[in-house]
Structure 1
Amino acid sequence: MPMHPEAERLLALLAEAGAPPFEELTVPVARTATQGFLELQGEPPGVASVVARTIPGPVGEVPVRVYTPLPGSAPGPVPVVVYFHGGGWVIGNLDVVDNPCRRLAAATGAVVVSVDYRLAPEHRYPAAFDDCYAATVWAAQHAAELGGDPTRVAVAGDSAGGNLAAAVALAARDRGGPVLVAQLLIYPVTDFDFGTESYRDNGDGYLLNKATMQWFWAHYLGALDLGDDPYACPARSNDLAGLPAAYVATSEFDPLRDEGEAYARRLAEAGVKVTAKRFDGMLHGFVWTAGAVPSGLAIFDDMAAVLRQATAG
C-alpha cells in the first residue's frame, strides 16, 4: 500500500528540521534529541494519578512511573501492565513514553508501571533485561498495593521495549513466574538479522534506518557474542510454547516489520493465542508520534481488546 499521508507529512517535517540520524550522533546528544518526540505526541487522556518511585533492582534502585486509570465501571482490582520504553536500549526514558503510558492506562483500564531500565552502552546486555524482569516480578508481588490484580499481569513495550517484553515473557515461563496473562509487543525487535525483505525495502529513509539499528545493537551487545540467547534475541528461542497471549503490531514501512511478523507466526505455531496486526502505510515509532500520525492511535484500542480477552474470567 502507499504510505499513509500522515506518515508522509511526518517524514517531511523531520526532513525540514534537518535532524541527523542517531548513528551520526554521540550517545548523550542522541538522548537529548529523543526529547524532540515529545512535541509530536499530542494531548493524552486523563488518568487518576501518576506516581514516580523507585523499586529494588538487581544492582540498585530502578525508577518507575505508576499510572492509575480513572475509575471504571467494574469495581475491584484492575489488570497491571508493566511497560518498557523503546529507543534501541540506548535512548528513551520515562518522559518520552509518558504520553503513550497515559493512553495505555486510559484505554485498558489497567495500572501501568513504566520502567526506567539501565541503558547501553554504559550498561550493556543483560542489564536492561535484568531490570525489566526484576520490575515485572516486583509489579506482580505488589499488584494489590497498586490497586491491581496479581493474577492479571501483562508486559508491554515498543521497539526495543517490545524486545524486552518478549524476553521477560520467555524468562517468566522459564523461571516459573511471575505468571503473565499477555505480552503486548509494539513493532518489536525480535531478531538480529539485517537481511530481511523489510530491511532491504525500508532500511533507509523511513524514520528508523538499518544503520541506526546496527548502531543500537552494537551499543547493546558490545563485544558479547549474541549466540542463541533468547533473552537478547527472542527469535532465537527454540521453544515458544507456553507463553502468554500475544498482541504483535508491525508497521508496513519499517525495517523491523518482517521479524515481528515472523515472531507472531512462530508464536501461533507453538500454540500461543496471537493477535497480529500490520499498520498499513505506517512508519516505525508511530506510538511516539501520535500527535502527527493520529491514525496509529487505534493500537491502544487493539491492546485494550486483547488484554480484556486475556483477562476475562
Structure 2
Amino acid sequence: MDPSSVKDQRQSTATAEAAGLEYIGPCPPHLDEEWVDIPLPDGQTNRTKVVWPRPSGEAPLECPLIIYFHGGGLSVCSPDMVLAPARGFATLFSCVVACPTINQLPEQPFPKPVQIAWEVCAWLSDVKNLNDGVLKKAGTIIDPGRGFVVGGLSSGAAAAAVIGTIPGSASVGVKEFIGLTPLQNPISGIFTGIPFLVTEAMLPEQYRDIFKSREETAENKAASAAMRQDLEPYLGVHSPWFSPINLKLSDPKTIPGHPPKVFVYGGELDQFRDDSVVYGKWLSQLEGVEVRTSMIEGGTHYTAWVSPPWPTCHTRKVKEVTLDGMAWLLNLEWDRTREDLPI
C-alpha cells in the first residue's frame, strides 16, 4: 500500500483498461451507457457506469438490475475494467447493469471501500433513482421483481459476498452493520467470481484441511507472500466487512434474509481457488440459500471476463461460466448455441 506503488499500479491498469475499451469498441447501437455520480451519506459521490438495453418497440422495456463490482484489491482499476461483461449481461439478459467504483484504498482506510459499496447498493436499490434519472427518457425501466443481483470479481466479488449478509446480520444485532442505509428492495442473488475471502489468520479450523491453494505452486506461494506483506496488513481480516466467514454467530442459520441464490466460481490454479470452496461450504450451512459453485479447469486469477484483451479473459469458456451463473441467478436462459457471444 505504498502510495507510489499504488500510483504505478493505477497507471498500469488504466493503460490496460484503455486497451480494453479499444478492443471492445464503442457502445453497440442496441445499448446505451452513461456515467452517473451516486451521492453518498458523507457528501462524497461514487462514479458508476450504467449500461442498459434500448427498447425495440414503443412499450417500456422492464429489466432486472445487476450491480457488478470490478476487482483490483480495493485500490486499483475502474468500472471500465468490467464494461465488457456488463454489455454482455445487458445484451443477453435485457438488464440494467450498474458498475460502481471500488478503489478507495489507501486514501480511505478499510473498511471504508466496502462500506461505500454498500451505500451505493442501497442507493441503487431505490430504483426510482435510476428510473427517474438516467433512464427517465430511455424507454427502459428497472423492475426489481425481475431480479436484483449484486456481483463482482476478486475484491469486488468479496464485497458482493459481504453485502449479501448485511441485511440479515444487522437484523440480529451484528454491531458492525447497524445504522447503515437500508435497502429499498431485497437482493435476489449474489455473483462471486474468483473471490478473495480467506486468510490464514482468520480461517476457521473446520476448513483448514481444504485450504491448500495458497501453497500449491511456486507462483502461488510467491503471490501469497507478497499479498501477506503488501495488502493484508491494510485489511481488517477478522472483520465481517472483510468476509462473511468472520461472522461470529453461534448458528449460521440465524442469518435471516440472505439472498436465496449465490453463484461462485474459482480458477483451478488460482491462489484464491479455495476461497471459493470455503465460501461455498460456509453458504451451504445457511437455511434457505441455494449455492452453485463452478471451478474453471486450468483457470488462474486472470481467468475472468474483463475488458482488457488478455488471452484468458475473452475465451468462450470464461464467458459461458459467467453467463451460466448470471442466467441461473436471474432465472433466465441464454442461447448456448450462438457463436457470436458479446466481446
Check whether TM > 0.5: yes
Contact 1:85/1:158 (8 A) holds in 2: yes
Alpha-carbon distance change, 205 to 191 in structure 1, aligned in 2, over 3 angstroms:
closer
Match of 2:24 in 1: 43
CA shift, 1:24, in A, is 12
Alpha-carbon distance change, 72 to 266 in structure 1, aligned in 2, over 3 angstroms:
farther
Cα offsets for 1:124-152 (capped at 9, x unmatched): 11211111111111111025444111333
User: Structure 1 CA distance, aligned partners of 2:104 and 2:61?
Assistant: 36
Output aligned runs, 1:293-304, within 5 Å: 293=312, 294=315, 295-304=317-326
Match of 2:46 in 1: 62
Instruction: Tell me which moved more, 193-202 or 250-259.
Output: 193-202
Equivalent AA in structure 1 for residue 213 of structure 2: S
Matched length:
284
Equivalent AA in structure 2 for residue 269 of structure 1: Q
User: Structure 1 CA distance, aligned partners of 2:56 and 2:160?
Assistant: 26
For structure 2, the 5+ residue unaligned runs are 136-140, 172-181, 202-207, 334-343
Match of 1:246 in 2: 262
Match of 2:175 in 1: none
Alpha-carbon distance change, 185 to 72 in structure 1, aligned in 2, over 3 angstroms:
farther
Contact 2:31/2:91 (8 A) holds in 1: no
- 54, 73, 76: which one aligns with 1:88: 73
Equivalent AA in structure 2 for residue 254 of structure 1: D
Equivalent AA in structure 2 for residue 55 of structure 1: I
Match of 1:216 in 2: 231
Cα offsets for 1:185-205 (capped at 9, x unmatched): 011111223783100114626
- 286, 298, 315: which one aligns with 1:281: 298
Equivalent AA in structure 1 for residue 78 of structure 2: N
Output aligned runs, 1:136-215, within 5 Å: 136-142=121-127, 144-145=131-132, 146=135, 147-151=141-145, 152-175=147-170, 177-178=182-183, 179-193=186-200, 196-202=211-217, 204=219, 209-214=223-228, 215=230
Match of 1:100 in 2: 85
Contact 1:190/1:263 (8 A) holds in 2: yes
Paired residue secondary structure (1:155): strand
Paired residue secondary structure (2:299): strand
Equivalent AA in structure 2 for residue 265 of structure 1: K
CA shift, 1:109, in A, is 2.1
Match of 2:284 in 1: 268
Alpha-carbon distance change, 263 to 203 in structure 1, aligned in 2, over 3 angstroms:
farther
- Using the aligned pairs only, state the percent identity: 21
Paired residue secondary structure (2:65): strand
CA shift, 1:304, in A, is 3.1
CA shift, 1:58, in A, is 3.1
CA shift, 1:278, in A, is 0.3
Alpha-carbon distance change, 106 to 212 in structure 1, aligned in 2, over 3 angstroms:
farther
Cα offsets for 1:193-225 (capped at 9, x unmatched): 37831001146269x921343323334x2xx5x
Instruction: Tell me which moved more, 284-293 or 97-106.
Output: 284-293
**TM-score, reference length from structure 2:** 0.73
Alpha-carbon distance change, 54 to 200 in structure 1, aligned in 2, over 3 angstroms:
same
Contact 1:94/1:115 (8 A) holds in 2: yes
**TM-score, reference length from structure 1:** 0.80
Equivalent AA in structure 2 for residue 68 of structure 1: W
Contact 1:172/1:180 (8 A) holds in 2: no
Contact 1:107/1:300 (8 A) holds in 2: no
CA shift, 1:50, in A, is 0.7
- 41, 46, 53: which one aligns with 2:36: 53
Alpha-carbon distance change, 167 to 49 in structure 1, aligned in 2, over 3 angstroms:
same
Instruction: Tell me which moved more, 110-119 or 208-217.
Output: 208-217
Whether 1:292 aligns to 2:311 is yes
Cα offsets for 1:207-245 (capped at 9, x unmatched): x921343323334x2xx5x43x21212221242644211
Alpha-carbon distance change, 276 to 58 in structure 1, aligned in 2, over 3 angstroms:
same
User: Structure 2 CA distance, aligned partners of 1:48 and 1:90?
Assistant: 29
Alpha-carbon distance change, 264 to 26 in structure 1, aligned in 2, over 3 angstroms:
same
